[in-house]
Structure 1
């Protein structure tokens, strides 16, 4: 039987697995989390008492249904499920997987449903303890029912900014301010496209925004995060009129929408294109997710369409796989029509909540750009006479992108700084090439004897 490996057990991975099982295949599903669901529908530990409506809000029914679908597949022996494992490398039809032990999982077809990560922009002072990404704050809330501060400031832009603020307030946390760098004019222009594509979803977002009241501020400029020995003490910012403001806090969450996680797609040989609307490099794939021979991409790792779009993309990738295998498959026309509507909505989101390129390009030299390696904007600029305006050469000399995150959080901002100094567009700087291992790994895992093969 054809061996199909699915990486990721979020909405896209689960729906891909379901479609393959319906066609008579037995896929292997590898996921980093302890329980399937992905980030948006992240499941808490067994015995956690908060009900789904508190965890997922208006999306609770979708989350419960998705979880139940995958649980049935696993319980029925229809899939081989490998949780709490990371795919570290891909080579010659073998996935090198690391959990408690190293494993090798062979495959004939590969579906990557790796999702997205936070898209972060540097702010002076953001390297201090107590400054988190929005995604990290949401994980703590969903997985453990924990608010990471007593007085919280959330800053950045994008739907997650509003959603997380609403979720924290619902859980009883104190949110002192929600600082959105997106100008209100951009939000209105993009919002029109959003409401035309998905009116109910847009209206739900507006209701969440209204519930924030005076905590929410649009069109702000972030000046710096003031910190003490125990972490953040205040965020200094300017409102849309240019007036200086200061909000006291003991925790800061940052995030500017999402960044597609294309690390494994890169290692698998996918090509990438610069997407100016989303201000990032995205893997190249056809409408069903084909990105190469035997390679299929689904979900936010290829197109940032949200959870509903990820479910559709997972089914689409499975259909592409079945087509290429010459097996019976569902018709894809309806899915492709719905995906186009999701794309129109996503384009509206990108317009409404733009990446703060100008803020990054004008950062003071003392601002830390790479938190992992402690590299400042000045360090990066000083490297350019030797490296030239090319991302990988600048990485080699300045070490931006060489740390634990491997450039996931500093690559885009580093490119903006290089481009500004060289008078170029960010796309002309290029992108950092992915390197195995895809995640930090103990060296001992690779010094041991060859790992065992699973799911032959």
Structure 2
């Protein structure tokens, strides 16, 4: 019998992995939490919506169309399970929930293409209604065809900041300003690495031109101080310190916030994969080899869920992981060396992006005590610092036990990184020694009543 290969995710990595397996004569099972394929960056609009690819995806329109067409051609050759949550992984088994149904599937090989989510640094008032992550703002635009507000401030740093802003501008939304924590000189210093992918650099420049043409104010080198608002009315404005120290307050009714992306690694954690602290990104990442093999036999990690290197890199890493799975089954494949070489170029480019748009770790130590860090549990920076000083908790899970930070429904997706930074600063220890919050099933809330279906 042919081996059962399960792919999680239908973003760029998942689609190209499925394509490689089908070309090899296999029929993989492809599971996706979304209703339609494309992942986050190429998320397809709902059926019946008629916005053009150029309007919806901008400079990425051609690639989005290519990915969607590729997946449409695969549908008769794969077992496709949309709107299905993989909520746990045990040895050689994935646990699924779809609607009110529960199911398990065994696998011989598992390719996890779980994508990325926003990397967030709290700011005072970010719990106010009307504050979204950049990714959340993008989802609203692509999936619901609406803006998050009538006058919006985009704040943070990284390519996604400019991509989402440009998409909002093209959709006709009013963007009050872009508030970027990185500086122009940081971008200049990163230019040699950014030239590893000239086409991607050109696209980034094109995004800034879109903003300039729309006369959207862009302030660089800012420090976010407060998102103003009230429990009754939500967001009403933003206060930042400009690069020269001058205070700037802007009126708005919505804020999109984010600092790059981070791999969504909870499924890799549940699969038992080993993690290592990455000094370059200052975060814990699953251990993989050049082809995407994890530390667990038969489990492969691809796309932004393993390393955030962009959609183009995700397509290559997805195919590479599928080829690795085939090779490990004794099948002959080609094109591996070329894929590795192309992926190495994207890795250099990603390093340039980190240099150009650095993660603002220094902001964690200066957050006011009243700033909410964990929005699910309403835990403040002051409470977390008191736990460190009163109990001596210098490890993430121990601090979680005493404070409940990261115990909410997001399980630390949005507060975990910033919480670790606050712990490290309060305890005066390296970030690596704080550790990481352990993943636990279910990765997302499930219905109380689930009807079991038997694996076929």
Fold conserved (TM > 0.5)?
yes
- Residues in 1 aligned to 2:191 and 2:102: alpha-carbon distance in whole angstroms: 47
RMSD after superposition: 1.1
1:427 to 432, 435, 446: 432
Q: How does 1:370-385 map to 2 (within 5 A)?
A: 370-384=374-388, 385=390
Q: Which residue of 2 aligns with 1:352?
A: 356
Please tell me whether residue 302 in structure 1 is matched to residue 301 in structure 2.
no
Cα separation, 1, equivalents of 2:220 and 2:370: 27
Tell whether the 8 Å contact from 2:373 to 2:381 is kept in structure 1 after alignment. yes
Shift of residue 283 of structure 1?
Answer: 0.8
* 2:143 partner SS: helix
Aligned to 1:205: 204
Partner residue of 2:398 out of 393, 397, 404: 393
The correspondence of residues 115-154 of structure 1 with structure 2, limited to 5 A, is 115-154=115-154
Three-state SS of the structure 2 residue aligned to 1:379 is helix
Q: Using the TM superposition, name which of 287-296 and 275-284 deviates more.
A: 275-284
Tell me which moved more, 97-106 or 27-36: 97-106
* Residues 151 and 176, structure 2, Cα contact 8 Å, conserved in 1: yes
Structure 1 partner of 2:98? 99
- The answer on whether the counterparts of 2:379 and 2:403 sit within 8 Å (CA) in structure 1 is yes
Match in the other structure for 2:157: 157
1:14 corresponding residue in structure 2: 15
Supply the distance in 2 between the matched residues of 1:45 and 1:387 (Cα, whole angstroms). Answer: 50
Equivalent in the alignment of 2:6: 5
SS in 2 for 1:366: coil
Q: Per the alignment, in what secondary structure is the counterpart of residue 359 of structure 2?
A: coil
Q: Cα offset for 1:275?
A: 1.6
- 1: CA distance, partners of 2:44 / 2:299: 28
Matched, 1:220 2:222: yes
Q: What is the CA-CA distance between 1:92 and the residue it aligns to?
A: 2.5
How many angstroms apart in 1 are the aligned matches of 2:338 and 2:112? Answer: 22
Secondary structure, counterpart of 1:84 in structure 2:
coil
Report which stretch shifted further, 288-297 or 326-335. Answer: 326-335
- State the alpha-carbon separation in 2 of the partners of residues 58 and 237 from structure 1: 31
Residues 286 and 306, structure 2, Cα contact 8 Å, conserved in 1: yes
Q: Please give the alpha-carbon distance, in whole angstroms, between the structure 1 residues aligned to 2:392 and 2:407.
A: 15
1:183-206 deviation line (CA, Å, top 9, x unaligned): 222122123311x20112112211
* Distance (Å, rounded) in 2 between the aligned partners of 1:13 and 1:236: 41
2:332 paired residue number: 328
CA distance in 1, matches of 2:240, 2:191: 25
Say which of 299, 307, 314 aligns to 2:318.
Answer: 314
Q: Which residue is equivalent to 1:278?
A: 281
Query: Gaps spanning 5+ residues in structure 1: where?
Result: none
CA–CA distance in structure 2, aligned partners of residues 319 and 379 of structure 1: 48
Distance in 1 separating the partners of 2:365 and 2:104: 43
Count of aligned pairs: 448
Superposed displacement of residue 330, structure 1: 2.1
Distance 1:439 1:147 in 2: 26
Report the Cα offset of residue 387 of structure 1.
4.9
Higher mean C-alpha displacement, 353-362 vs 306-315:
353-362
The answer to whether the 8 A contact 2:91-2:271 is kept is no
Q: Which stretch has the larger CA shift, 382-391 or 171-180?
A: 382-391
Q: Out of 264, 267, 281, which is 2:267 matched to? A: 264
User: 1:368: how far off?
Assistant: 0.1
* SS of aligned partner of 2:382: helix
Select which of 363, 368, 372 maps to 1:368.
372
- Checking the alignment, whether the CA contact within 8 Å between 1:23 and 1:328 is kept in structure 2 is no
Corresponding residue number in structure 2 for 1:342? 346
TM-fit CA distance, 1:400? 0.5
1:437 is paired with a residue whose SS is: coil
Q: Does the 8 Å CA contact 2:384/2:403 hold for their aligned counterparts?
A: yes
TM-score (normalizing by structure 2): 0.97
Contact 2:7 2:110 in 1 (8 A): yes
> Is the Cα contact below 8 Å between 1:191 and 1:349 reproduced in 2?
no
Q: Aligned residue for 2:413? A: 408
In 2, Cα distance between the equivalents of 1:282 and 1:92?
Answer: 20
What is the CA–CA distance in structure 2 between the aligned matches of 1:139 and 1:355, rounded to whole Å? 23
Shift of 1:279: 2.1
Taking the aligned partners of 2:228 and 2:67, their CA distance within structure 1 comes to: 42
Cα displacement (A) at 1:241 = 0.7
Counterpart of 1:79 in structure 2 is 78
Query: 1:412 & 1:252 partners in 2: Cα distance?
Result: 20
Q: TM-score, normalised by structure 1?
A: 0.97
